[in-house]
A = this chain, B = another copy of it.
Amino acid sequence: MDNIRLSLDEVRKISLDAFIANGFSDRQAHATADVVTRAEADACRSHGLYRVPGYIAAVRAGRANARAEPSVQQSAASVLQVNGDGGFAPLAADVGRPELIELARRQGIAAMAIGNTHHFSALWADLEPIIDAGLVAWCFVVGQCAVAPYGGSSRLMGTNPIGFGWPRPAGGAFIFDFATSAAARGEVELKRLAGDHLPEGWAIDAGGRPTTNPSEALAGALLPFGGYKGSALSMMVELIAGPLIREKTSREVTRIGITDGGPPPGGELYVVIDPAAFGTDAGIAGETFFKEATSQAGVRLPSARRHAARAQSHRAGVEVPMSLLRQIEALCGTSPDAL
């Protein structure tokens, strides 16, 4: 049997045990296990248990601080800065988020930069508690350098995801979260393993020429989604989640030469608007639009698949590869050789 069915409580416990066994503080372990569990619940496997070995690798490599104590500082009337103390982003976000929500409500709009962290989680998970508080929000993260600009010939930018959310009355927040590259490196790797060609427009080779060969693409660069428009958006993320908040660009991260498979160091920018500042209850005001959208057969709102998966996972648990489970259990030993 290749897969095993686990309840979400079991997913959480497996993550927690692995983190605690590897010297994570209770706070770092709980915050990180929480995003792992939520990703599994939403069938967002690439951010679920699959990431546990990477988190641990970053600690064993001495890059990430498993006992980090993030702190929040207000650097302007409507701006917060969270110093993640070299730990993982989930706890830094948990520490800053209540103050961010409070500040956005008081000021109408607020921004928060998280820095000195290692980010490995999905942006929808970062946004959801803010959106469920009735606010409208964005967040941005610089990914590892893998993407050539439109018209270019080599890597300049990260996969640089953008997240945005809008509240809905039933709690099923409208949130999207996507890389500004045409595809993720993981998708290219899967095509390579399957012996498939890539769709045109995904990648260029090391010489800057368009390629549909996965191996050539991995040696070259991914392309932005949507041509020059996606390229411009990727540049925007590089600027606002890098130099704006005095955090690393994707090229700076690459120069570090991380080989442990763990999360890269970097920052995250949040922008949060309180609709009440415009006299609006967003949870009501957007519903006409959503109703019109979903009245068209074939239209699926962003998040809809995650919400359906979540309902299913809470009832019936999730399927996890046995091989992954064994890998994580092995990491509960304290020997670095278990990696």
Please determine whether B279 and A246 come into contact, CB atoms closer than 8 angstroms: yes
Please determine whether A109 and B78 come into contact, CB atoms closer than 8 angstroms: yes
Please determine whether B113 and A278 come into contact, CB atoms closer than 8 angstroms: yes
CB contact under 8 A between A166 and B239, given known A149-B296, A227-B225, A279-B246: yes
The docked-state distance in angstroms from the alpha carbon of A337 to that of B227 is 44
Q: Which A257-288 residues sit within 8 Å CB-CB of chain B?
A: 271, 273-280, 282, 285-286, 288
Please determine whether B153 and A280 come into contact, CB atoms closer than 8 angstroms: no
What's the number of copies of this chain in the assembled complex?
Answer: 2
Nearest CB in chain B: distance from A67 CB, A: 27
Nearest CB in chain B: distance from A72 CB, A: 14
The docked-state distance in angstroms from the alpha carbon of A152 to that of B288 is 17
| A298 interface residue (CB < 8 Å to B) | yes
Please determine whether B153 and A298 come into contact, CB atoms closer than 8 angstroms: yes
| A98 interface residue (CB < 8 Å to B) | no
Please determine whether A107 and B136 come into contact, CB atoms closer than 8 angstroms: no
Using C-beta atoms within 8 Å of the partner chain, give the interface range for chain A.
35 or more
Chain B residues with CB under 8 Å of A236's CB are 164, 166, 176
Please determine whether A244 and B289 come into contact, CB atoms closer than 8 angstroms: no
Please determine whether A76 and B297 come into contact, CB atoms closer than 8 angstroms: no
Nearest CB in chain B: distance from A230 CB, A: 6
Chain B residues with CB under 8 Å of A78's CB are 77-78, 107-110, 277
Nearest CB in chain B: distance from A157 CB, A: 9
The docked-state distance in angstroms from the alpha carbon of A76 to that of B75 is 19
Query: Besides A178-B229, A243-B285, 13 other CB < 8 A contacts?
Result: A77-B107, A79-B109, A113-B278, A151-B299, A151-B300, A152-B293, A152-B298, A153-B297, A154-B296, A174-B235, A176-B236, A178-B228, A271-B271
Can you list 28 residue pairs at the A/B interface with Cβ under 8 Å? A75-B108, A75-B279, A76-B107, A76-B274, A76-B277, A77-B77, A77-B78, A77-B108, A78-B78, A78-B110, A79-B277, A109-B110, A111-B273, A136-B239, A136-B240, A136-B244, A149-B293, A151-B296, A156-B299, A225-B227, A225-B230, A226-B227, A226-B230, A228-B302, A239-B289, A243-B280, A246-B280, A271-B271
